[in-house]
Amino acid sequence: MRAGLGGAETRTADVVEPRHSGAGEARLVSGSSAARKASARRRIVFYVTSAVGVEVAVAGPFEACVRVGGEEIRGCLADLSLDVLRRCAPVRMPGVYRRQRHMPGRWFSTTARRFLEYESLLERDWMLLMDFDREVEWVCEQPLRLRYLKDGLAAIHVPDLLVWRGARPELCDVKSEERLEDPEFNAQVRATGLACAEAGLGYRVLSQPERQLLVNVRWLAGFREPPPDRDGERLRMLSAPGVAPSTICRLLADARERALARPVLMHMLWAGDALLDPGIPIGDDSVVWAPAGS
C-alpha cells in the first residue's frame, strides 16, 4: 500500500476477474499460465482509496482512440507508434453551455503554431507556460480517449494535454487544487498512470502553477513577436550577458533609445536568448545572463 494523489491510498492485486454485478469485491483468479499470459494487459489492478474513503479498482486493457488526418485509430496505448501520437488531433472540443463551472476558450500557441482549445483558465495558464518552456517541442489538447476498466465496468478518460518534451511524449491532466482529492479523478489518474507506464510515456498532473512564475510569463508573453530593431540592440545585448551577468537597467543604459530597446530585451527573455530567474518579480534590477553554450 502506498499514498496516492491527494491523500489517496492504492494497493495492487495480481489477476482480477472484473465484476459486472456491481456488488461485492473483485476476486482473485487462479488459473493456468496460458490464461495469465492471455490476460497480460489486465494483470495489475489498482485499488484506489480516496481521502473520503471511497475505493475503486482500475485495470486494463488500456485502449486509446486518436484522430489522425480526420480518421480514428484505435488500439492499445502501448501499441500506438510515436509517429501516430505526434500527428494526432483533438478528439473532442470543449462544450459551451449555460451555468458551466469553467470558462472555455482558445489560446494561440507559438509552440503548436495554431489555436488550442482550453476547457478552463487553469488549462490556458499551462498552455502559456508550455509556450515559454524551451524544452517543449509540440502540444496537442484533448489528444486521445483512454478506455479502461473501473470496478469491472468500462470507463473513458480524455487527458487534457499531450506534450512532447525532448522528443518524449507526456500526457498531462490539469486540475485545480480543490479537485485533486475527487474520487473520480483519483481513479482517472491511476488508470492513466498505469497506461502510460505500460506504454513508456510520461504522465503528470498539473495544478496551480507558482504565482510569480505565471505573472512573469504572462508579462513576457506580450513580447512573443520580435519587435523592430533598427539600432541592432539585440546583437549588442546578446554580447553583454555573454561576458558576465548584468541587470536590465545596465543593459538598457547604453541603448540609443531605451523605450525601443526594452521590447527587444523582453522578447529575448521570452525566446530564451537571454535568461533570468522567473521566480522573482521582473524589474530594472533583475539579473540577466546568457544561456549556456551561447
CB neighbours of 51 closer than 8 A, spacing ≥ 6?
A: 6, 7, 8, 181
pTM: 0.77
- What is the reported pLDDT for 147? 95
Q: Which of 206, 238, 268 is the last residue of a domain?
A: 206
Question: 115 and 81, same structural domain?
Answer: yes
Q: What is the pLDDT of residues 218-241, one digit of tens each?
A: 999 999 999 999 999 999 888 765
Is a pLDDT exceeding 80 seen at residue 102? no
Flag the least confident range among 93-97, 113-117, 140-144: 93-97
Question: 274 and 158, same structural domain?
Answer: no
Question: 201 and 253, same structural domain?
Answer: no
Q: What is the pLDDT of residues 32-63, one digit of tens each?
A: 333 333 333 444 555 555 444 557 788 878 99
Q: Which of 173, 188, 206 is the last residue of a domain?
A: 206
Q: Which of 206, 222, 250 is the last residue of a domain?
A: 206
- CATH number (domain holding residue 125): 3.40.1350.10
Domain of residue 77 covers 57-206
Question: 244 and 126, same structural domain?
Answer: no
- What is the reported pLDDT for 97? 64
Q: What is the pLDDT of residues 116-173, one digit of tens each?
A: 999 999 999 999 999 999 999 999 999 999 999 988 899 999 999 999 988 889 999 9
